[in-house]
């Protein structure tokens, strides 16, 4: 297919291209299925080709469409935030398993909130909770704020480094910090390396720099009966547990993701 061909809806095959087509037409995918003979106008065809070129260049479809599903909601995603990942839903499940009373007015803290997907998902589950979401990136916080407004959940958004400007206590702390070793960042697939912000990925030479920095804040900000849920790379459980223990925290457990890889370290006072 090239730019001068006349495009009919029925010519477009494959899930990703069909999503781009629906987006170019400003129609639902169901409408496209119901109108296979519709012929795109030249501006619509141009728009479709522009989006397809981005897909061919390795940009993830979520970033092209500006939206990604996480847990029970759709989140805005842009170049300023990490795309919400299914692996991170392990943290939501772990919190719900440890804190089953969904009517409790928990104080929630999300360190490195990005799109706000973790905090906003928890606030959807705990309707009486209040939340604070911290990020170093002001641009990321703007995306988080838009997501909160869209979902009508209103945590406090704070720009800063981890917990440095905060006072506790918090009942539940969550964090998915950058944890990929610097060298490994260069070998990530294009969709991640180019289209997710490096500040969300790069965990320093050993991938553990963020855990070293944020663990003292967790120790200081956690309520006596509280727990912190930290996302980890699948080989980091031992190293992150050791950093937590050196900061006077106890290891409450390690949770695995759906592919049975270590994904979350749970710590308490
Ligand atoms: C792996 S992303 C996680 C984003 C989101 N919580 C999620 O799970 O999709 C890490 C986030 O930590 C933020 N970050 C990096 N360094 C930080 C720092 N020193 N203080 C606060 N946030 C930081 C990044 O900007 C990024 O949004």
DSSP 168-223: --EEEEEE----B-HHHHTTS-HHHHTTS-GGGTB--TTS-HHHHHHHHHHHHHEE
Q: What is the pLDDT of residue 5?
A: 65
pLDDT at res. 6: 82
Query: To test the ligand 1 pocket, which listed residue (69, 141, 200, 209) has its Cβ within 8 A of the most ligand atoms?
Result: 200
What distance in angstroms lies between residue 15's CA and the mean position of ligand 1's atoms?
30
Cis before 169 (ω within 30): yes
What SS3 state is found at 29? helix
**Binding site membership of 84 for ligand 1 (Cβ less than 6 Å):** yes
Q: State the pLDDT at residue 262.
A: 98
Is residue 137 within 6 Å of ligand 1 at its C-beta?
A: yes
pLDDT at 1: 53
Q: Which domains does the chain have, with CATH numbers?
A: 9-56 (no CATH), 68-268 (3.40.50.150)
For residue 124, the model assigns a pLDDT of 98
Ligand 1 center–CA 96 separation, angstroms: 22
Spacing, Cα 82 to ligand 1 middle (Å):
8
Q: How far is the CA of 179 from the centre of ligand 1 (A)?
A: 10
Ligand 1 pocket check for 117: Cβ under 6 Å: yes
By most ligand atoms within 8 Å of CB, the mutation choice from 178, 181, 195, 263 for ligand 1 is 178
Distance 254 CA to ligand 1 centre (A): 21
Task: List, run by run, the mean pLDDT of 10-residue segments along the chain (269 residues).
Answer: 71 90 93 93 94 95 96 98 97 98 98 98 98 98 98 98 96 98 96 96 98 98 98 98 98 96 98
Query: pLDDT value at position 14?
Result: 87
Interior/surface letters 66-92, b for 16+ CB within 10 angstroms, e for the rest: eebebbebebbbbebbbbbbebbbbbb
Q: Is the CB of 236 under 6 A from ligand 1?
A: no
Q: Could you identify the atom of ligand 1 that is nearest to the CA of residue 113?
A: 6
Which residues partner with 250 through β-bridges? 268
How much is the pTM?
A: 0.94
């Amino acid at each position: 297919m090239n730019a001068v061909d006349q495009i009919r809806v029925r010519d477009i095959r494959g899930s990703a291209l069909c999503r781009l087509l629906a987006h170019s037409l400003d129609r639902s995918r169901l409408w496209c299925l119901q109108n296979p003979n519709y012929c795109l106008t030249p501006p619509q065809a141009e728009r479709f080709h522009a989006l397809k070129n981005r897909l061919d260049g390795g940009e993830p479809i979520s970033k092209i469409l500006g939206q990604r599903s996480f847990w029970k909601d759709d989140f805005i995603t842009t170049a300023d935030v990490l795309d919400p990942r299914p692996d991170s839903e392990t943290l939501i499940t772990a919190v719900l398993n440890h804190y089953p009373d969904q009517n409790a007015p928990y104080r929630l803290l999300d360190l490195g909130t990005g799109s706000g997907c973790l905090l906003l998902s928890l606030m959807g589950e705990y309707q009486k909770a209040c939340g604070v979401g911290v990020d170093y990136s002001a641009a990321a916080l703007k995306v988080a704020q838009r997501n909160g407004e869209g979902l009508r959940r209103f945590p406090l958004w704070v720009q800063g480094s981890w917990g440095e400007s905060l006072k506790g206590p918090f009942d539940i702390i969550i964090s998915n910090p950058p944890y990929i070793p610097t060298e490994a960042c260069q070998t990530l697939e294009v969709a991640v390396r180019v289209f997710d912000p490096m500040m969300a990925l790069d965990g320093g030479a050993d991938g553990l720099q963020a855990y070293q920095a944020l663990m003292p804040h967790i120790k200081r900000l956690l309520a006596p009966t509280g727990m912190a849920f930290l996302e980890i790379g699948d080989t980091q459980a031992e190293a992150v547990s050791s950093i937590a223990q050196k900061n006077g925290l106890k290891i409450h457990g390690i949770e695995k993701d759906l592919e049975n890889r270590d994904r979350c370290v749970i710590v308490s006072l």
